[in-house]
Structure 1
Amino acid sequence: MTTQHSKLYGVSLGIDFPKAFVRGLLQRFADKDPHALARAHVIVNSARMMRRIRQEFIRSNATLHPKFHLVTDVTTLCGNFEKTSPKSSLALRLELVQLVTRLIQEQPDLAARSSVYALSDSLANLIDEVQSEGVDPAVIEALDVSDQSGHWARAKRFFALIRTYLDTLDTVPDTQSFLRDQIEFLATKWFKNPLLDPVFIAGSTGSRGTTMDLMAAVSRLPNGAVILPGLDRNMTAETWAQFSDRLQGQDHPQYRLAKVAAIFGMEPMTIPEWSDMTPINAGRNALLSLALLPAPVTDTWRKNGPLLPDLMHATQEITMLNAPNKRLEALAIALKMREAVETGENVALITPDRQLTRQVTAALDKWDILPDDSAGMPLQLSPPGRFLRQVAGVISRPMTAASLLALLKHPITNSGDTRGDHLLLTRELELYLRKQGIPFPTQAILEKWCITIQHDQAPVWAHWVIDAILKAERSGISDFASWVEHHRTTATHIAAGPSLSDDAGQLWQKKAGAQVRTLFTTMQDAAHAAAPLDVRDYVDIFSGILAKGEVRDFKQPHPNITILGTLEARVQAADTIILASLNEDTWPAPPSPDPWLNRKMRADAGLLLPERQVGLSAHDFQTAFTLGTQVWITRSMRSDDAETVPSRWINRLSNLLNGLDKTGGPEAFEDMQARGNAWLNLASAFDHAPSIAAARRPSVAPPLSARPKELSVTEIKTLIRDPYSIYAKRVLRIRSLDSLDQTPDARLRGIIIHEVMEEFCKRWDEFQADQRADALIRLTREKLAERAPWAVTQLFWQSRMIQIAEWFVARETERRIIATPMNYEVKGRLNFPNLDFTLTAIADRIDAHSDGIALYDYKTGKPPSTDQQLYFDKQLYLLSMIAEDGGFDGLDPAAVVIAAFIGLGSSPKEEPMPIAKEDIATARDGFRKLISAYSDPDSGYTARRALFKTEDFSEYDQLSRFGEWDITDDPQKDHLT
């Protein structure tokens, strides 16, 4: 133990701070009145630190405990402090939204409207910092930006506009200004009447100005003291001297501690130790201290590196894990935690990467292990959070089929007693929407669907969907409170279901439900601070508010498995500390972009520099690295989309060790990696799927009785090019579901253009000759408005018709000179009794010719060439066969004089049937041979037999497992019985 009268103490790296603090405090009060400890005040930096210290007091069997406070809430210390309570942070942000919205309206090039809340959030953080650091806004207004870009001058002018707003905080303060006023009040109060009871600030590094002011006030008390966490005892005076310039060294882990020491008028090396506890591994501390030296003195590695104690001992409990991807990193961590459960050890995972922690939690779920996650679940990812985000979409934009069904399938939707009927009707509605290809459901469509459903609850359910969902969209400008109420009412109506009960189903149940209900109350209470806005701005604000929330479940977590954020690193010692996601831009995270002040402006104003956050993260890393008996440092070498870069701290540690070849540094580093590789191998083996042989190219031969006895003309082309698709469609009867999100694809364009051409040709005589092209364009526009509900698509497809309208009218005039349109969309059948087979077709158009008939088929793409018609696309030949045999409804047998494709693409053309190279009789013989071939029990339906291009898509590629084989493979015959 050192001097008892010091005002500043430190707890060295590698020592459990809560345990050391309690131990040192009890030692100081050991010979005093037992009630003296109860009169003491302990001010800590976080609620979790407070819990840990209280736990240590309980373990120490101390009968009386001190009073606890947070550095962010000293209300109980202030006593008769009289000032208006601070406004809520949400009210502050809503007021700033008004300011930022006006700024963007005046300067639209500054940012998109959708970024209003994000900009307001960053501005609120800047205001908090100004208040916390005690910077006069006038200083920012006076900054010289003559040598800066125009953006920063504009930002400074805007900051002048909000100075008036800041002045109003003297009347109704925000949280930070209220805290600063409290601390100034305490400092004045204690200066006039010093508090005689002991006061300790424990666990804070003085990272904010208000905290530093509180430390200074406590230091002036007769029994006040500050205890710093994670003090590096291995740094030399030369190293500490690097922090004398406030513009240098802020990214070092010990920078803030050096500043606290300077305020106390002490050299960091002279700060006494708070307790008699010793570090877990002093050699490890020394190694990391040297690795993290400030850049200007890194050259001392050459001198001090060889003086490090036994490197093998210092690193023997360090495991370095370089996983190939994040999934394997998470699984290896989960396996280590699983082992700890078996051995009774405790493990703490510390990382800022919430995606990784979710993956670890999911992996642990295999063994029914629930970790104690300090952050819990993001509120926006909880069931009520996801539901409310979907409802926000309902009130703000037109309802699509996909978004409607996603909402109807949400567990909270209609979560009352009629959930079973609800799911049944939802399925029926989905099948209807898919079959009809309806991208935007409307009231009329729901009412039409309701008639087709034989279910006694269908009418009530459909009208509930219409009233609660389809009619919920709003537009225009309204006040914030109205949007909040409409959002809440809509969500309640959807959750309650057709019963219209007041319990809102499961929406407000459990902790997440209670939290979102409180969120709505908070928004209503703060609504007075918001200006009128439209629904999209409301949704942006709501999404930003929801994204900040977190919820912890009441389930009892495993007591030995903990997941912590980096800010809590100093709170928890453990048998094994796992420091994960140690990649640049993750840990440490890059400085947050500041749209208001650049680095020089911040430095000139006396605000915190961007690299300060890196320094705080570095202190969290250094503290956690030294606190575990075993330490894991893990990273993934690849993220979801790119290679990653190791964290600068890992790079420094590896560079230092690999440079100490004379003292065994490279060997120690290899051992660290070997231990990590062993766990990676275990994770890979655990996650290894059984080896499955690649599929062979299928050629399936089903029994004759199962083979199709009827195919359409268009299916014959498929039978020639991809027989396996016919097998899947006609024998297995497998069909892909139509997409809910109907897109303006070639198929839809073909349907629309066919309808336009049929109507135009039927009404040909209604139009004057010089007006027919305009009439065709007008009909196209009307049909597109009816069938293609996408404005851009309508314009694009309309322009394509404009390009070909004159050509089509001219060619149609020529066609009508030699033949007269007779029938459209004519169904036909042709039976082949000897083959037990029927060919079906629908002809787009049949014209009457003096010598027989003319057959035309419209193609909105490029029509088949002559060679394609001769070998693969036999559509015109097959239609001609049906026509000559009298197979079309209402038509007698007739000779086919003309048969042609009418191409309506960007390069319109007619492509006639190449009858000179192959007549219809020859084509008939070829068709008989094709069908006869598939009447052979040994013939197989081969996958991708002769597709036009090797990269062409078949909708049954997944079924045939294409990709495990390719078209150069020989088909494997598979006889089915």
Structure 2
Amino acid sequence: MAADALFGPDAPRIRTIAPGTAFVKELARALAAETSLATKPDALADAIIYVPNRRSARALSLALYDAAGEQTILPPDIRALGDLDSGEPPPIAEQALSGAAPPLSGAKQLGVLATLVRHYYQNAMGTELPPASALSAARELGRLLEQAAMSENADWSKLETLSLGDMAAHWSRSADFLKIVTELWPEWLAEHRASDPYKERLRAARALADHWRDAPPAGPVIIAGSTGATPPGRILMRAVLDLPQGLIVLPGLDTLLNDKQWESVIKAPGHPQNTLIRTLRALGRAPESVAPWPGISEDGPARARVRLIHEALAPAEETADWRATLEELAAASNQPIEEFVRDGLTGLSIANTPNEAAEAEAAALLMRETLEREGQTAALVTPDAGLARRVSALLGRWGIHVPPSAPVPLGRTQAGSLIGLCARWAADPGEPAVLAAVLKHPFVRKKMDSGLLDLYFLRGPRRWKSLDDLAHSIDIRHKLEPHSPFKREDQDEAILLVQRLSEIMEESGADFSILDGVTADAAAKRVADLAGAISETPMPWAGEDGAGASNLLQRLAELGPFLGEMSPEAFADLVDAESSNLPVQTGEPEHPRLSIWGPLEARLQSADRLILAGLNEDVWPEKPPADAFLPRRFRAPLGLNDPEERMGLSAHDFAQLAAAPHVVMLSAARRDDSPSVESRWVWRLRTLAEGAFGDRTAELLKGETGALLDWVSALQTRGVGTLPADFSAEPTPRKRTPAEWPTRLSVTRVDRLQRDPYSIWAESVLGLRQVDVLGAPLASNLRGTAIHAALDAFEKEGVAKDAGSLLELIRVELARTGEPESSWAGRLAIWQDVADWYLEWRASRDIGGKFVREVRGEISVEIAGHPFELSATADRIERTATGELVIVDFKTGQPPTDKAIDAGYDQQMPLQAIIASKGGFKNVRAAPVAALEYVAIRGRPEARRIAESKNSPKTLEELIAAAADGYVRLVAAYRDPEAVFASAPRVQFVKYDYGYNLLARRAEWNRDTAGGDGGDE
């Protein structure tokens, strides 16, 4: 038998594949060679191979196919063993062997714990805990139960004997709360003859081990790639060692550890070798007894890299003198220190980018550059899901589709998001933001065109409660907005869509707003019917996310009996919470040469270039989460595992990946706009290298990233592609006058042309119109429109001219515009005073009842050789006994002062006077204008005539004459082909954002200018 034979009486039963090696490929290569798989396609048909997770299982299947010469084979039985943080339970297909009752499903277990939590809060605190909060607490308790099951020496009975000492009072209450898991949970299981799902894993593993002892499998049984982090895994490992053809293949065991180092590692749960050493101790083996995997020959640089990584991650007490450590390592390799360290750093690059955006750019550039090398592969590995998505999006700009392979929460998928939106919509069918989101969902928008409904009728303040109210609101919208851009047929189309939605809601029984409460199981069914009715067939149940959505609804149905009745809003919160805790694979096709993995997916995987990103403290490694109900210092007395063990598994992942031949490590100096610290692993590796090279270390560690940060900076400042030759950074954005300048402006827009020329250019020339926010609070301009409408209606025939009638008109118009009833009730006393004042002001008018209201006017002139029309709508024009005109403008805010009018930025009233004096208003013959009067309808109402105070800088005639000359010169100036339309050039005169600051990029242009306008960020 060959010395490197994998099976046989004298073959080593435990082997290891060195770090930095393509684990799955080497495993498949040796198995194929051992069994002559290329010539005997069924050679491994009887084998059972356990790997850590399902992704590893898929990778091994493909690797065996490749190792067999890409021919059809009868594959072995490849099973996912399940690792500590994969979310995949160990195999329990053989659970019938244990003879125990079937374990509870995850949903039922969560429901039982949530019920116990709610009972505790009701009895101990007299409070009713919302379902989502109860489930959150139940998950924490479930985590404790799982940790106890995974800790072989856990003993909850010791909880009562622990001394609280100086612990805060809330920890004392926690000890009482933990009786849920120490007493109530076991009692419930016994009463209902149910099996603990966590302990069942142990029983299933023991039953399988017993079965193997009595009836050993005919073929090889291999556990490959597992660190043995879980008790069920170690039980199966011990059983495999007793089988005739049993084999354990450990990932990256350091077989050169001496006894002293072994003991140091055992005391350091966060060390990458800790779990492997504890596993070997549980199996009764020493590290030196583990044989290397056959056919792998490490060259000098590879061995040096592994030694450097292991020393950088060694326990603190072993790193007191790194210079001495380097001398020992170099002497063992018969090399000078500098040569040994240089070998270890060959192929390794480290870059600390300015921020996470630059880090993503760097990763994307490295992956893009890999495609320039024929046949080369690259993989980004990061635990930061946001960074992974960002890199995927950046690659998309080059037409490269590389989806992250890590599972995503169901709520982030299309099917999951639709279920969540429908649950939220069912709670309030008329909610504009939710309704718009539902109709714009990819599964819905092709079936129901909601463009007009969203653009014209859902935006702005909410004026309705139900879908029926919404249809009525759309029907009367033309009365509220006589000059709106939509047509009657647009209204009819939108009304038909709303009526169709109302019918679907009624048929599915999903209008929860009319119910006092719902149960999760009944509500889930109705939401499923609603989602199916509005979606294209077969959505939303197709694909991986569709299966996840079905699983979600099944979980909700199982949770229903335990959670009881809840409010519709609480049910929507429950759906969101459950969706965020259900990971699913997106099912998107993978790129043939590029990959984006999480550390879990990267286990046992390999690529020609590995990019390790997110290497910052609390990102990678991630800080172990605090226990919600158990002080950390109590874990050891209770026999629970140290949370640092997960840190050790994360460190093992890093050590395996960092030992690859070509590695780039990326971190960010700032994250989330705050300073960030480089990962301890990178920092320690850098410090170790400095022991050999000192100040030259930084240049050495640049490696292949020397120009990378320069490329990133260029991309971030200039963007992708070639910049125009005349590119320059102007202090404000400006646009040239087009050939066809608008031929008409209203008097208010003339003011805007003075204050913010860019907004006029964008609106009148580009044809861009600001779109209101969905469900926005009532804006001041809409409130003013409502007041104007009420005052206009008050003057109609048949309306009683008393305060009560005026108040009712104001209330109705404000409500129709979207003013909440609570706001009206809170300001009723103020409105009563306003109504009384207005009646007094109205009675004081010496006009003999001769006036017109809401009258439109216009005049046409020629400016700079082009026809131009000036228009206006006057709130009220009175004719005095002498035949002169008085123009009244109602304001719900602060009217402009005479000084502001004289400055030229409030020309509305003087320009109206010009139109009136020339007979431009309908049904108002030309006459001199005797007065321009502002009437403020607000908390402190007042009436003021322009240019009648002692402080007025000019007379009324002078202000009108200045306006007549000023608007002509203004329009002529912007007719000049060399004119520019700056964004708010005199920001001190701008009252508010006209809606185009973001388009003008004011914040970007003014970011380095002191005293900027503070525009949209």
TM normalised by structure 1 equals: 0.83
Counterpart residue identity of residue 816, structure 1: A
Q: Cα deviations across residues 492-534 of structure 1 (Å, max 9, x unaligned)?
A: 11115xxxxxxx3543344433543454355446655553333
Distance of 1:732 and 1:61 partners within structure 2: 64
> What's the counterpart of residue 471 of structure 2?
446
| Partner SS, residue 706 of structure 2 | helix
Is 1:340–1:346's contact at 8 Å kept on the other side of the alignment?
yes
> What's the counterpart of residue 533 of structure 1?
566
Q: 1:630 to 1:834 in 2, by over 3 A?
A: closer
- Which residue, 77, 102, 105 being the options, matches 1:88? 105
Is 2:413–2:586's contact at 8 Å kept on the other side of the alignment?
no
Q: 1:947 to 1:967 in 2, by over 3 A?
A: farther
Is 1:579–1:634's contact at 8 Å kept on the other side of the alignment?
yes
- Which residue, 699, 707, 710 being the options, matches 1:670? 699
Distance of 2:768 and 2:291 partners within structure 1: 78
> What's the counterpart of residue 684 of structure 2?
652
Does residue 212 (structure 1) correspond to residue 219 (structure 2)? The answer is no
Task: Give the 5 Å matches for 1:187-586.
Answer: 199-219=221-241, 226-245=248-267, 249-269=268-288, 271-273=290-292, 275=294, 277-279=296-298, 281-309=302-330, 310-341=340-371, 342-365=373-396, 369-371=400-402, 374-375=405-406, 378-413=409-444, 415=446, 419=447, 422-423=448-449, 426-433=450-457, 440=464, 442-446=467-471, 449=474, 452-453=488-489, 461-468=497-504, 472-474=510-512, 475-496=515-536, 504=537, 506-517=539-550, 519-521=552-554, 523-524=556-557, 527-552=560-585, 557-586=590-619
Q: Cα deviations across residues 630-672 of structure 1 (Å, max 9, x unaligned)?
A: 12212233335333321111111112212x1xx3365354222
Q: 1:305 to 1:798 in 2, by over 3 A?
A: farther
Is 1:42–1:66's contact at 8 Å kept on the other side of the alignment?
yes
Q: Cα deviations across residues 428-480 of structure 1 (Å, max 9, x unaligned)?
A: 33343178866657324436757932899877644322323598431432232
> What's the counterpart of residue 479 of structure 2?
none
Q: 1:938 to 1:217 in 2, by over 3 A?
A: closer
Deviation for aligned residue 1:746? 1.9
Q: 1:812 to 1:684 in 2, by over 3 A?
A: same
Counterpart residue identity of residue 146, structure 2: D
Deviation for aligned residue 1:597? 1.5
Alignment: residue pair count: 936
Q: Cα deviations across residues 241-270 of structure 1 (Å, max 9, x unaligned)?
A: 22455xxx2121111122223323444455
Counterpart residue identity of residue 105, structure 2: S
Distance of 2:319 and 2:605 partners within structure 1: 30
Q: 1:928 to 1:22 in 2, by over 3 A?
A: closer
Deviation for aligned residue 1:728? 5.2
Is 1:229–1:570's contact at 8 Å kept on the other side of the alignment?
no
> What's the counterpart of residue 19 of structure 2?
13
Is 1:96–1:123's contact at 8 Å kept on the other side of the alignment?
yes
Does residue 949 (structure 1) correspond to residue 989 (structure 2)? The answer is yes
Deviation for aligned residue 1:880? 4.8
> What's the counterpart of residue 728 of structure 2?
693
Counterpart residue identity of residue 463, structure 1: Q
Deviation for aligned residue 1:128? 2.0
| Partner SS, residue 540 of structure 2 | coil
Is 2:946–2:956's contact at 8 Å kept on the other side of the alignment?
no
Is 1:697–1:966's contact at 8 Å kept on the other side of the alignment?
no
Deviation for aligned residue 1:488? 0.7
Does residue 629 (structure 1) correspond to residue 678 (structure 2)? The answer is no
> What's the counterpart of residue 85 of structure 2?
none
Q: 1:239 to 1:812 in 2, by over 3 A?
A: farther
Is 2:15–2:250's contact at 8 Å kept on the other side of the alignment?
yes
Deviation for aligned residue 1:390? 2.3
Counterpart residue identity of residue 644, structure 2: E
Q: Cα deviations across residues 542-572 of structure 1 (Å, max 9, x unaligned)?
A: 2233334455566653444333321244412
Counterpart residue identity of residue 210, structure 1: P
Distance of 2:991 and 2:556 partners within structure 1: 54
Counterpart residue identity of residue 857, structure 2: R
- Which residue, 828, 840, 843 being the options, matches 1:813? 840
Deviation for aligned residue 1:282? 0.5
Deviation for aligned residue 1:621? 0.5
Does residue 124 (structure 1) correspond to residue 164 (structure 2)? The answer is no
Counterpart residue identity of residue 545, structure 2: A
Deviation for aligned residue 1:779? 6.3
Counterpart residue identity of residue 484, structure 1: A
| Partner SS, residue 585 of structure 1 | coil
Is 1:708–1:731's contact at 8 Å kept on the other side of the alignment?
no
Gaps of 5+ in 1: 497-503, 970-977
Counterpart residue identity of residue 521, structure 2: A
> What's the counterpart of residue 500 of structure 1?
none
- Which residue, 802, 817, 827 being the options, matches 1:787? 817
Q: 1:968 to 1:558 in 2, by over 3 A?
A: closer
Counterpart residue identity of residue 928, structure 1: A
Distance of 1:764 and 1:814 partners within structure 2: 21
Distance of 2:384 and 2:996 partners within structure 1: 40
- Which residue, 157, 174, 189 being the options, matches 2:176? 157
Distance of 1:507 and 1:863 partners within structure 2: 55
| Partner SS, residue 632 of structure 1 | strand
Is 1:315–1:672's contact at 8 Å kept on the other side of the alignment?
yes
> What's the counterpart of residue 151 of structure 2?
133
Does residue 176 (structure 1) correspond to residue 198 (structure 2)? The answer is yes
Counterpart residue identity of residue 827, structure 1: V
Deviation for aligned residue 1:573? 3.2
Deviation for aligned residue 1:747? 1.4
Distance of 2:1006 and 2:59 partners within structure 1: 62
Q: Cα deviations across residues 252-291 of structure 1 (Å, max 9, x unaligned)?
A: 1111122223323444455444546344601001111111
Does residue 44 (structure 1) correspond to residue 63 (structure 2)? The answer is no
Gaps of 5+ in 2: 82-88, 331-339, 476-486, 1010-1017
Deviation for aligned residue 1:487? 0.7
Counterpart residue identity of residue 56, structure 2: M
Counterpart residue identity of residue 647, structure 1: S
> What's the counterpart of residue 752 of structure 1?
786
Deviation for aligned residue 1:579? 1.6
Distance of 1:544 and 1:333 partners within structure 2: 32
Counterpart residue identity of residue 567, structure 2: D
Does residue 736 (structure 1) correspond to residue 770 (structure 2)? The answer is yes
| Partner SS, residue 605 of structure 1 | coil
Distance of 2:591 and 2:861 partners within structure 1: 74
- Which residue, 897, 902, 923 being the options, matches 2:959? 923
Deviation for aligned residue 1:839? 4.7
What RMSD in Å do the two structures reach over aligned CA positions?
A: 4.4
| Partner SS, residue 231 of structure 1 | coil
Q: Cα deviations across residues 398-433 of structure 1 (Å, max 9, x unaligned)?
A: 434343333223331164xxx5xx43xx33333431
| Partner SS, residue 989 of structure 2 | coil
Distance of 1:883 and 1:372 partners within structure 2: 66
